[in-house]
Amino acid sequence: MNIYFIGMCIAMIAYVVIGALVSRQVKDANDFYVAGRRAPVLLIAGSMIASYTSTGMFMGDAAQCYDGVFSSIILFAGMQSAGYIIGAIFFGRYLRRSKVLTIPEFFGKRFCSDRMRALSALTAIIMMSVYLLSVMQGIGTLMHIVTRVDYNVCIGLALLAFTLITVMSGSRGVLITDTIMSGVFTAALVIAVLFIANSAGGWFESIHVLSSSPDTAQLLSWSGKPGPLYDTGIQNMVWGLNYGIVWMSVCMVGPWQSSRYLMAKDEHTVIRSAPISAFGVFILEFLVGMAAVIVIVVNPNMEDSSQVMIWAAMNMMPVLAGVILLTGVLSAGISSATTFLSLIGASVANDMMTVRGKRSVSVGRIAMVIVSAVVFALAVFNPPSIFWIMFLGGAVAASAWMPVAVASIFSKRVTKAGAFCGMLFGTLGCFGLKLYTSLMGIALPVYLDPSIVGIVCNVAAMVIVSALTRVTEEEKAAREELFVVPDSEKKPKEIKKTFIWMKCSLGLGAVVVLILLIWWVFPYLKYVTG
């Protein structure tokens, strides 16, 4: 046992205690699954940032940046951040207006189809279980490397912590602990970057060193380093675009992101939370990526690049600061895990088994425990592959949900059969191609990424089947109901505030551009051409 393990255990105990306290406020299914629909901007944005930011960012994305595709990661980060704004305005507010408990219920209600609800619930459970496995492996790997405690014991402790939080307090506890955890890992990352840069000789000096060496000059270029992913800069950027489409889709309609809108106290909260989420996630991605690249100045030959932030915490930072960073990474993993587990329980109880009332809460809790046990078994027997498992979960969200979610709001022609076939073929197209390439050991061209193929299959099936069927009057009425703005949302004062928030989002965009120019582009161009 060392100080890092002690810090992690203290953090897990604190989160469980908070969950236990919050559980006293849970009175019914509405409280348990959608936090009573009373969550303010801070909790919605905090939970969205936390549920996105997991060990996948600190270990998966950091590894990609260390290996040489920093620019591609920044490209994807900008696209996904835009997804928050697009999703809140063009999907999230309509989702909340439907007053459902889960997003699969929304799809079932919008298309007047129990089959559609069941299929979307099944795909949601698959994608969140896959992502939960990635997070579990990330937490276990982190704790094992840092503490040298057995890997299985580590994932068991983490599983116990996030399962207790979720089962006891439901979405209300998840929102609160998520927001606390997002504050912890954001502060931890800012502190870590300062120490890492200082240990490497300074932020700008590190860029100078990297840019001046032929071996590392391409790390911060637009093209990235040839080899780790693809051999040319164009291929690396196309991969970044594919990755961006996937995670923009996740931030728009992914269940672990858009489900937060169901908990918002009103539609204005939905829209106001988007700029904060977008800015927060982008800055975190930028800081993680730059920190990983700067580590190369000190340690250019790391065998396992997924451990870059762990190595930095233990070798480039004072012990206390390292404890804070690694506890922050752990918090990021647990926050995502609680969200996934909560949503899986909700989909099983409300969409697969369609139970109501207090029994729904009991069934949801049982489902969470069972899923935790299954994922634990998979994490034990399946070798960790954090980045690619995480990416597969996002790919299913893009392939199965994104086209149908957009069509559910803006298309008058899509039918229940078209939506069902679109989601089905999008899922099969993505999963089928990924399974085929894995079994055959085939590397596809970058433009045939399974997620993009899945999206094409989804749109094609939805268009063709909708053209062969008719929209019923019931479906027309369900869609028109979404465009009826409740009187409670028409308060002039609140509308004015929301417009101010959206204007501020333009200012945040300008801040992001300045940050990239000052702390990356200008210094890199100065040193690489000087």
- Provide the domain limits for residue 286: 3-529
Tokens of 199: 């240990």
Q: Could you tell me the CA-to-CA distances from 3 to 10, 138, 147, 148, 323 in Å, in that order?
A: 10, 20, 9, 12, 7
- Tens of pLDDT along 244-300? 998 899 899 988 899 999 999 999 999 999 999 999 999 999 999 999 999 999 999
Let me know: does 115 contact 427? Beta carbons within 8 Å: no
Structure confidence at residue 530 (pLDDT): 61
Q: Could you tell me the CA-to-CA distances from 150 to 170, 288, 311 in Å, in that order?
A: 30, 27, 19
How many Cα atoms occupy the beta-carbon half-sphere of 191 within 13 Å? 20
Structure confidence at residue 353 (pLDDT): 86
Q: What is the CATH number of the domain that holds 495?
A: 1.20.1730.10
Structure confidence at residue 95 (pLDDT): 96
Instruction: Provide the number of structural domains found in the chain.
Output: 1
How many Cα atoms occupy the beta-carbon half-sphere of 226 within 13 Å? 6
Structure confidence at residue 214 (pLDDT): 86
How many Cα atoms occupy the beta-carbon half-sphere of 49 within 13 Å? 30
Cβ-proximal residues to 78 (8 Å cutoff; 6+ apart), any chain = 244, 282, 512
CA-to-CA distance for 373 and 155, rounded, in angstroms? 11
The string over 516-527, giving b where at least 16 C-beta atoms fall within 10 Å of a residue's C-beta and e elsewhere, is eeebbeebbeeb
Tokens of 381: 């027997």
Structure confidence at residue 387 (pLDDT): 45
Structure confidence at residue 381 (pLDDT): 76
| Residue 488 per-residue DSSP state | G
Structure confidence at residue 81 (pLDDT): 93
- Tens of pLDDT along 327-371? 999 998 898 889 889 999 999 999 988 887 778 899 999 999 999
Q: Could you tell me the CA-to-CA distances from 237 to 229, 281, 394, 430, 519 in Å, in that order?
A: 11, 20, 19, 21, 21
Structure confidence at residue 383 (pLDDT): 57
Provide the CA 18 distance to its chain's centre, in angstroms. 23
Structure confidence at residue 215 (pLDDT): 85
CA-to-CA distance for 211 and 58, rounded, in angstroms? 24
Structure confidence at residue 78 (pLDDT): 93
Closest CA to 95 of 408, 394, 402: 408
Structure confidence at residue 386 (pLDDT): 45
The string over 103-133, giving b where at least 16 C-beta atoms fall within 10 Å of a residue's C-beta and e elsewhere, is bbbbbbbbbbbeebbbbbbbbbbbbbbbbbb
Q: Which residue has the tokens 């008058």?
A: 412
pLDDT in tens, the chain (530 residues): 688 888 888 999 999 999 999 888 888 888 899 989 999 999 999 999 998 888 788 988 999 999 999 999 999 999 999 999 999 999 999 999 999 999 999 999 999 999 999 999 999 988 888 888 888 888 888 888 888 888 888 888 888 999 999 999 999 899 999 999 999 999 999 999 999 999 999 999 999 999 988 888 899 999 898 887 888 899 999 999 988 998 899 899 988 899 999 999 999 999 999 999 999 999 999 999 999 999 999 999 898 898 999 999 999 999 999 999 999 999 988 988 898 899 999 999 999 888 877 788 999 999 999 999 988 888 877 655 544 455 566 777 888 899 999 999 999 999 999 999 999 999 999 888 877 777 777 878 888 888 899 999 999 999 999 999 999 999 999 999 999 999 989 999 999 999 998 888 888 889 999 999 999 999 999 888 66
Tokens of 310: 């762990």
Structure confidence at residue 449 (pLDDT): 85
CA-to-CA distance for 226 and 224, rounded, in angstroms? 6
Closest CA to 406 of 245, 237, 241, 239: 245
Other beta carbons within 10 angstroms of residue 10's beta carbon come to: 12
Other beta carbons within 10 angstroms of residue 156's beta carbon come to: 15
Other beta carbons within 10 angstroms of residue 234's beta carbon come to: 12
| Residue 262 per-residue DSSP state | G
